[in-house]
Amino acid sequence: MTAETDARIAHMLHHRKASLELGEPVVPPISVATTFHLPQTQGAVHSYGRAGQPTWDAVEAQLAILEDAEVVSFPSGMAAITAALVCCLKAGARVMIPSDGYYVTRLLGRDMLQVYGVDVEPVPTLEMEGADFAGFDVIYIETPSNPGLDTIDIGAMTARAHEAGARVIVDNTTMTPLLQRPLDLGADLVVAADTKAPSGHSDALFGHVAGRDTNLMARIADWRRQSGSIPGPFEAYLVHRGLETLELRLSRMCASADVIAGRLARHPKIRGLRYPGLPGDPSHKAVGGQMVNGGFLIGFELADAATAERFLARCPLIEQATSFGGVHTAAERRARWGDAVAEGFIRLSVGIEPVDILWQSIEAALATDC
Ligand SMILES: *Cc1c(COP(=O)(O)O)cnc(C)c1O
């Protein structure tokens, strides 16, 4: 982590201190109120629960420190993505999205946005590099892409998009603001699923939009209030708690992923290994630049679907689940969702288990006839 990020983490951990009165709770209360004392409408911090409430304020304050931007929280990553796209698009507008990105974002474009007259053009992440941005209103980037882990230069894409008059939205879910900072590289909005590493314990769906354009962020907040796409106070509390240990968990997860990717690279049964942290990986160019490290996601192929399923079933320290970024190492065969990957392709999300015992369980599962 950079010194700036270290300072943001320390500030985040103490963000409530300055406003605490004697005897007040150190952690934010879970506020379930829908209504607030309102004898007159002027000057109240909160008026009605759909417009804003104290537990959102607490988690948004943390995220604002980490993003160094304004933040509006949402009940899921998809709710945040929807808000960002709706607020940047209108009928007749054109948006370029990654065809190898998060698949529900693609469905949102195809099944919903197109119906309202938005032209949605899916382009593979690597081809965005050379794509013509003329005539586009939004360039939507996901880097590293999910699950293929291809990367694209955010700064270069943003400069080109702005020249063409387009806004840039970056889905930063796989990296978090600790490991990659799209807004610092010029992106207009960051969207993220805090369901993943920020919450970290696979027990809360949550998302946020971050940005530095006050008018645009006001529109995002209006979208939340008017559409009613609001996070629950319990989830806001869980994400507040999760964010306090994000840096600790990420440090372990990324260091372990680096070790495991290196060992998988030398394993005879592994093909098509992808981990941006490996020096030979096509995405390695981004590491040390826009990416602080290689992250905690690894992609690899086993011989076929059956072999991959057997491996997953046999490894006691791999949770067979979709999603990633939790404390438990988890993996799945992505072709079962229709991703354009080989049948035996596995996306592995490295958790916080001590790395040697984790590797031993992976190695043992690979040793039995798979
Ligand atoms: C999970 C995920 C989302 C959606 O988040 P939800 O909280 O499940 O709605 C969006 N983008 C990426 C890259 C994701 O991994």
The answer as to CATH 3.40.50.300 being correct for domain 3-243 is no
Domain ranges in the chain with CATH number 3.90.1150.10: 246-366
Q: Rounded to whole angstroms, how far apart are CA atoms 306 and 255? A: 30
Ligand 1 centroid to Cα of residue 80, in Å, is: 9
The CATH 3.40.640.10 domain(s) of the chain lie at 3-243
Residues with Cβ within 8 Å of 289's Cβ and at least 6 positions away in sequence, in order, are: none
Q: Whose CA is nearest to atom 8 of ligand 1?
A: 77
- pLDDT for the residue numbered 170: 98
Q: Are strands 138-142 and 167-171 parallel, antiparallel or unpaired?
A: parallel
Go through the chain and tell me how many residues it has: 370
Probe target for ligand 1 pocket from 173, 199, 205, 235, with the most ligand atoms within 8 Å of CB:
173
CATH class, domain 246-366, is alpha beta
Both tokens assigned to 112 = 């919903």
CB-based contact 303:326 (threshold 8 Å): no
Query: What distance in angstroms lies between residue 195's CA and the mean position of ligand 1's atoms?
Result: 7
| Prediction pTM value | 0.97
Q: pLDDT tens digits for 31-44?
A: 999 999 999 989 99
What is the dihedral angle through the alpha carbons of 302, 306, 311, 317, rounded to the nearest 10 degrees?
120
Residue 117's CB is within 10 A of a number of other CB atoms, namely: 11
* pLDDT > 90: percent of the chain: 95
Residues having CB within 6 Å of any atom of ligand 1: 76-78, 102, 142, 146, 171, 173-174, 193, 195-196, 205, 207
Contacts 24+ apart (CB under 8 A), 19-23: none
- Band of pLDDT at residue 147, cut at 50, 70 and 90: confident
Q: Provide the mean pLDDT of the chain.
A: 96
CA–centroid distance, 102 to ligand 1, in Å, is 7
**Per-residue pLDDT tens for 199-255?**
999 999 999 999 999 999 999 999 999 999 999 999 999 999 999 999 999 999 999
SS3 state at 261 = helix
Per-residue pLDDT at 243: 98
